[in-house]
A and B are shown apart, each in its own frame.
Chain A
Amino acid sequence: MSFDDIPLWVAILVAACVLTGAILTFAGAVGLARMPSFYQRIHAPTLGTSFGALGVLAASAILSSVGEGRFVAHEVLIFIFVSVTTPVTLMLLARAALHRDRVEGSSEVPAAIEKPIDQ
């Protein structure tokens, strides 16, 4: 497969997808660096794992499908796996951070409820 065989509109579509994905991932990384507290920072990288990964992986799938002349969509595997596992990891990480803050007695996080209200 060489790039000269690709039609022009496919090239423009692939370029738009890959650039959108890369720029959204960069925006998520900048949010990770600039947000003031950890609980705000944990939201930023999801931009890269959802729409950034969607853009780059869709561009790769389109390019390899057109280049080989048949439907190639291995990238769907990566996207499904990343979009399923990222909420799990970030929830575990947020709970771990909350636990650490509570153990330290930080005044910025709400205290744990000793006895649940509805029981």
Chain B
Amino acid sequence: MSAAILFWSITLAQVVLAAAMLVTIYRLIVGPRAQDRVLSLDSMYVVAMLLLVTFGMRVGTVIYFEVALLIGLLGFVGTVALAKFLMRGEVIE
């Protein structure tokens, strides 16, 4: 009983998170400006991180958690670099 509840709730959560990622990809394609695309990339890495956490819940190994932690660390750096680029036109001054 609890196995069925866990399996189907995690599956449904993965479907909903994948739909959220598709919606952010829509914003990434439509734009209309560069800051909209950076914003959609920022929210996309958060959704990808949560999707990896749900995969880790399903499998029960630690490796998905570590990948999610790396995505959380490096996505921050990427968004800061892109925002800096939009502000100044170059990343390192």
A-to-B contact residues, CB < 8 Å: 1-4, 6-8, 10-12, 14-15, 18-19, 21-23, 25-26, 28-30, 32-33, 38, 41-42, 44-45, 48-49, 52-53, 56-57, 59-60, 63-64, 67, 74-75, 77-78, 81-82, 85-86, 88-90, 92-93, 95-97, 99-100
Give the total number of A-B pairs whose CB atoms are below 8 A apart: 184
A6 touches B6 (CB 8 A): yes
**Inside 8 A of A92's CB, which chain B residues have their CB?**
79-80, 83-84, 87
Which chain B residues lie closer than 8 Å to A7 at the CB level?
2
Q: Beta-carbon contacts of B12-49 to A below 8 Å, as 1s and 0s?
A: 11101101110110110000011110111011001101
Known interface pairs A25-B47, A99-B87; A81-B3 also in contact (CB < 8 Å) = no
- Taking Cβ atoms with an 8 Å cutoff, the residues of B that contact A are 1-3, 5-7, 9-10, 12-14, 16-17, 19-21, 23-24, 26-27, 33-36, 38-40, 42-43, 46-47, 49-50, 53-54, 56-57, 60, 62, 65, 68-69, 72-73, 76, 79-80, 82-84, 86-87
Minimum Cβ distance to chain A for residue B90 (Å): 13
| Choice from A1, A29, A38, A56 contacting B35 with Cβ under 8 Å | A38
Neighbouring A residues of B72 by C-beta, 8 Å: 78, 81-82, 85
The majority secondary structure among interface residues of chain A is helix
B39 touches A93 (CB 8 A): yes
Q: Is the CB of A18 within 8 A of B3?
A: no
Find chain A residues with CB under 8 A from B56 CB. 60
B84 touches A6 (CB 8 A): no
Q: Are B2 and A10 in contact (CB under 8 A)?
A: yes
CB-CB under 8 A from A85, the residues of chain B are: 72, 76
Nearest B-chain residue to A28, judged by Cβ: B43
Q: In the complex, which residues of chain A have a beta carbon less than 8 angstroms from the beta carbon of B21?
A: 29
Question: CA of A14 to CA of B60 in the docked complex: distance in angstroms?
Answer: 14
Is the Cβ of B80 less than 8 Å from the Cβ of A89?
Answer: yes
